[in-house]
Amino acid sequence: MRFKSFFIASSLFLGLTQLCYGQAGTIVGSKHDFSLSNNTWNFTTPITAQLQGQICRPCHAPHNSNIRDIAATGYNNNNAGAFGPLWDHSLSNASYSIYSQGYNFWREGASSVGNPDGSSKLCLSCHDGTVALANFRTFTTATTTMAQFDGGVANLGTDLSTTHPISFTYNTTLATTDHKIWDPSSTPSGVHSGTIQSDMLEYDKVQCTSCHDPHNAAGVNHLLIKSNVGSALCFTCHKL
Ligand code: HEC
Ligand code: HEC
Ligand code: HEC
Ligand code: HEC
């Protein structure tokens, strides 16, 4: 009896924790599951023989990953640790238009938005549409880019002035200057059990991964890090 109710209570507790922190998703079956057959670019000779439709491999390699590429483009110099996550995809050399601070900040003053850095460069290696999806390491002759894949719906292009600002520092100082954002060091993220700073920022910076999880752990639309129903994601950081 006791054991049973303990079991039920713990299952309820676990269930609630999962609901609260949304750890119910998986990359399998998501848009980042490149083993799905619509990803024809991942099933083209000579890639087929080597990759066999793997999920992780277009992004990561277990050995001899693309460390030189990472070093050349500054991923490891820009706050993201010395190695990068065993990155395998060829990086982009594009130069970007960045979010204009002209509007932002005449009222509040604020952050300094620079060129994309950190893990956002990894995302842009596919999502800026300039590098073929199947270009990684020794495979460099593929041609289908994000701009051509699936009608280009996931292609952000190189004009990031139309995308939420990324690659800038969001810390307590910024939250003091701009009184309409929460202090990231003390505000809960609702993603895991930590703060915005610990769960959503990369070395204190807003990056693509502040809003998205490439592995779809939350299992919500658009690979978001948490549900945006009722704009909950936006309200996490914005105090409006
Ligand atoms: C579409 C590209 C993409 C795919 C596919 C992908 N990852 Fe990642 N992964 C990333 C990026 C980008 C990062 C760095 C940013 C971050 O930490 O979220 C990362 C980080 C990681 C990390 C270190 C951080 C962490 O979350 O623990 C691990 C481990 C990892 N990936 C494992 C995997 C495995 C295993 C697979 C296949 C099941 C996989 N990834 C598939 C893009 C991808
Ligand atoms: C991880 C935290 C975070 C999340 C999540 C987030 N933002 Fe932001 N956003 C910021 C920060 C920080 C700034 C820069 C504010 C500043 O510099 O004063 C910003 C800037 C902006 C700006 C530019 C403001 C201006 O004056 O130019 C807009 C608009 C905006 N966010 C909208 C959104 C929307 C819509 C969402 C939800 C889809 C969202 N944000 C989600 C942190 C976040
Ligand atoms: C190896 C190339 C590659 C990399 C690297 C990559 N993606 Fe993707 N991503 C894709 C493809 C392919 C799709 C599916 C596009 C489609 O179906 O139109 C996609 C889809 C998406 C979607 C749309 C999901 C949906 O359900 O609408 C989001 C959001 C996304 N990626 C974010 C990211 C972020 C953030 C990163 C970095 C952390 C990243 N991607 C890295 C290839 C990549
Ligand atoms: C402030 C939060 C935020 C940031 C930062 C952010 N995104 Fe998104 N992204 C969203 C939301 C929310 C959506 C869902 C679409 C919508 O609500 O219009 C989305 C949608 C997408 C889509 C799907 C587009 C479509 O129409 O299917 C892709 C691809 C994508 N994001 C990639 C990226 C990449 C790559 C980065 C970094 C360069 C990035 N995002 C940064 C919040 C963000």
Question: Position of tokens 């050349």?
Answer: 72
Q: What are phi and psi of 132, to 5 degrees?
A: -60, 140
Would residue 3 count as lying in a domain?
Answer: no
Which of 37-46, 83-92, 100-109, 155-164 has the highest mean predicted lDDT (pLDDT)? 155-164
Would residue 141 count as lying in a domain?
Answer: yes
Quick one: which of 237, 235, 207, 189 has its CA closest to 23?
A: 189
pLDDT band at 211 (very low <50, low <70, confident <90, very high): very high
Residue nearest to atom 43 of ligand 3 (CA): 126
Distance of CA 27 to the CA centre of its chain: 13
From ligand 2's centre to the CA of 238, what distance in Å?
Answer: 6
- Closest atom of ligand 4 relative to the 221 alpha carbon: 14
Residue nearest to atom 29 of ligand 2 (CA): 164
Contact present, 220 and 22 (Cβ < 8 Å)? yes
**Least confident piece of the model among 2-16, 62-76, 85-99, 185-199:** 2-16
To the nearest 10°, report the CA torsion of 33, 167, 98, 89.
-40
Which of 19-28, 71-80, 158-167 has the highest mean predicted lDDT (pLDDT)? 158-167
Would residue 171 count as lying in a domain?
Answer: yes
pLDDT over threshold 50, residue 11: no
233 close to ligand 2 (CB < 6 Angstrom): yes
Contact present, 88 and 59 (Cβ < 8 Å)? yes
Q: From CA 226, how far away is CA 217, in angstroms rounded?
A: 9
In percent, how much of the chain has pLDDT > 70?
A: 77
59 close to ligand 3 (CB < 6 Angstrom): yes
Question: Position of tokens 């505000």?
Answer: 187
Would residue 13 count as lying in a domain?
Answer: no
- Closest atom of ligand 4 relative to the 207 alpha carbon: 5
Select from 27, 28, 31 the residue to mutate for testing ligand 3; criterion: most ligand atoms less than 8 Å from CB: 31
Quick one: which of 89, 109, 230, 113 has its CA closest to 181?
A: 109
222 close to ligand 3 (CB < 6 Angstrom): yes
Would residue 14 count as lying in a domain?
Answer: no
Give the global pTM: 0.92
Per-residue pLDDT tens over the stretch 124-179 = 999 999 999 998 877 788 899 999 999 999 999 999 999 999 999 999 999 988 88
Q: What total number of domains does the chain contain?
A: 1
Six-digit token string for 168: 């800038």
Q: Which domain holds residue 65?
A: 23-237
From ligand 4's centre to the CA of 64, what distance in Å?
Answer: 30
Select from 59, 163, 223, 238 the residue to mutate for testing ligand 4; criterion: most ligand atoms less than 8 Å from CB: 163
To the nearest 10°, report the CA torsion of 108, 112, 116, 118.
-100
Q: From CA 69, how far away is CA 12, in angstroms rounded?
A: 47
From ligand 4's centre to the CA of 10, what distance in Å?
Answer: 36
Would residue 177 count as lying in a domain?
Answer: yes
Would residue 147 count as lying in a domain?
Answer: yes
Would residue 4 count as lying in a domain?
Answer: no
